[in-house]
Amino acid sequence: MKRLTETAPAKVNLALHVTGRREDGFHTLHSLCVFTELADLVSAEPAETDALSVSGPFGDDLPNGRSNLVVRTVEKFRARFPDALETGVALHLEKHLPVAAGLGGGSADAAAVIRLLAQLVDEPIPDADLFALAANLGADVPMCLFSRPCEVLGIGETLKPVNPFPALHLVLVNPREAVSTPEVFRRLKSRSNPAMPQLPGTMDRAAMLSLWLADTRNDLEAPAREIVPAIGGIIGAIAQTQGCALARMSGSGATCFGLYGSAAAAHQAAHDLREKLPGYWVAATPILAA
């Protein structure tokens, strides 16, 4: 069988409200998530034994043993579907997204592996079973398995597709500082905050989305700024670029984003930000359509 390849799109939280904390310690969220054309690449092909190799701009930041979520995804796939894979699987991860950056990169990689392994089996596996496996791997993995604009509730297991969604472009900026998500949640002052306002019945215009986003927030931004003070300056620099409709932090940080209505505006903003923030990781990318 030839080598199969899947993209692992970056996840961006346009809004992220922390609404509570369960008895098991998991936080409940209400978020609007989008995914980008900018992505890691994961490939798979049959082999004698399971193996993982890693390359790419951020490949050196990742382990390739069991501490890598990709490896654990294969293990859990085999445990859940013990007779599905007849051979070992050689995986290669081309890492283009920064690590521990608030972009769901590890979860996106795991979701791409699930999609790849599902293609390698003889009998189709129901989507419900694949999403159950995803939920067992981490709170962000189900939404990354979906990888389309969606409203996310609970601890990440409840997804509501948002369709249609306006064609938009993002500029992503990361100061090349990793942020620990558990540490961000540990510093969170309030763990029970209001949910997002109700989404409009039709979200097909950028102006409508921008108006709605004005009444939302990212509750993790304040604690993340305690860990990486540069986040505040990044958001300020993005907000000053021409055509920026919104500047905010994504996920638990430290990546921040600007929202733009055209590719030209986003690419010009990325060019300006590279000059203003030398040494930072800056990328312009479209949002994946609904």
Q: What residues are labeled active site? A: 11, 140
**Amino acid occupying residue 211:** L
Torsion of CA 145, 168, 237, 95, to 10 degrees: 30
How many residues does this entry show for the chain? 290
CA–CA separation, 113 vs 66, rounded Å? 15
R_g of the chain, CA atoms, integer Å: 19
State the residue for tokens 């009998």.
123
**Amino acid occupying residue 183:** E
Tokens of 146: 């979906």
CA–CA separation, 109 vs 70, rounded Å? 6
